[in-house]
Structure 1
């Protein structure tokens, strides 16, 4: 079982979008039994809240199921429990590393766009930009790259 945790600041926009997009890709590839996919926040601001209405609207627009989810905060234990800890931007990565003790000995922490030709780039937060279309495009590209890499490594 490959365990993937998508992480952003509040766990209501980008990380939930990535969770839903990646789960949909995995399901369509017939690989759902091989994966456990979830999402979390680095902050506590949105704990208990559902996905942002902009994320829900975009998922419905593109035909991707919105899964039941309430925002939770990433914990240090997540480093042990997941194979991939995928942040959306530089601040997420900094905060994720802080949560896990500023160490990544197993190389589990990465930005989502690190799995694309745009490695090192951030996915803009639609909470601030209001542009869920651009965020979706970037999330989809990153999820496709992540799934390709996992497939190349062998499930």
Structure 2
């Protein structure tokens, strides 16, 4: 059994690639990289083919988390059938994902911070506008830890 996770934000250069890299790092540390695949995408097309934002790269470098080979891509209708779980970084992107994929998508779609209800925050702030990549990293790190627990349970239960 395998499990696949797709993180989605607006441009796929700040939040979702940060989540992809952090989650991929956790998965690798748990030696689950043969069972769990991880990717990220954006709902918009402004940054296609670009590497993660400099602020995202700086934070990931500080924590020695690899983002090697990552390039921005846009969410496609096929993603709804290719992934088990699609994780939206905010409410607006969650709505856009649901509109793009429609009801036929097999993927479960959740909002990232639903994993951290204790945070009291609904949406992961967009550091492209705020510049606060450290705040986003802390939310992403904590959320990815919770997400990995959830995915491991699903793998143990056969879904």
Query: Shorter-chain TM-score category?
Result: over 0.9
C-alpha distance in structure 1 between counterparts of 2:145 and 2:77, whole Å:
27
Shift of 1:99: 1.0
| Matching residue of 2:86 | 85
CA distance in 1, matches of 2:104, 2:16: 20
Query: TM-score, normalising length from structure 1?
Result: 0.93
Q: How many angstroms does 1:153 deviate by?
A: 2.4
Q: CA RMSD in A?
A: 1.6
Deviations 1:96-117 (A, max 9, x none): 111112x377561001111223
Residue in 2 aligned with 1:73? 74
Query: Can you list the C-alpha shifts for 1:9-39, whole angstroms capped at 9, x where unaligned?
Result: 0000000000000000000011110011110
Cα 1:9–1:16, aligned 2, differ >3 Å: closer, same or farther? Answer: same
Which residue is equivalent to 1:43? 44
Segments of 5+ residues of structure 1 without an aligned counterpart are: none
Q: TM-score, normalised by structure 2?
A: 0.91
Q: Map 1:4-153 onto structure 2 (within 5 A).
A: 4-101=5-102, 103=103, 106=106, 108-118=108-118, 121-153=122-154
Give the whole-Å Cα distance in 1 for the aligned partners of 2:5 and 2:106.
14
d(CA) in 1 for partners of 2:49 and 2:106?
30
Alpha-carbon separation, structure 2, partners of 1:104 and 1:126: 32
Contact 2:80–2:106 (Cα < 8 Å) also in 1: no
On the 8 A contact 1:113/1:141 being kept in 2, the answer is: no
Runs of 4+ in 1 over 3 A off after TM superposition: 104-107
- For structure 2, the residue ranges without an aligned partner over 5 or more in a row are none
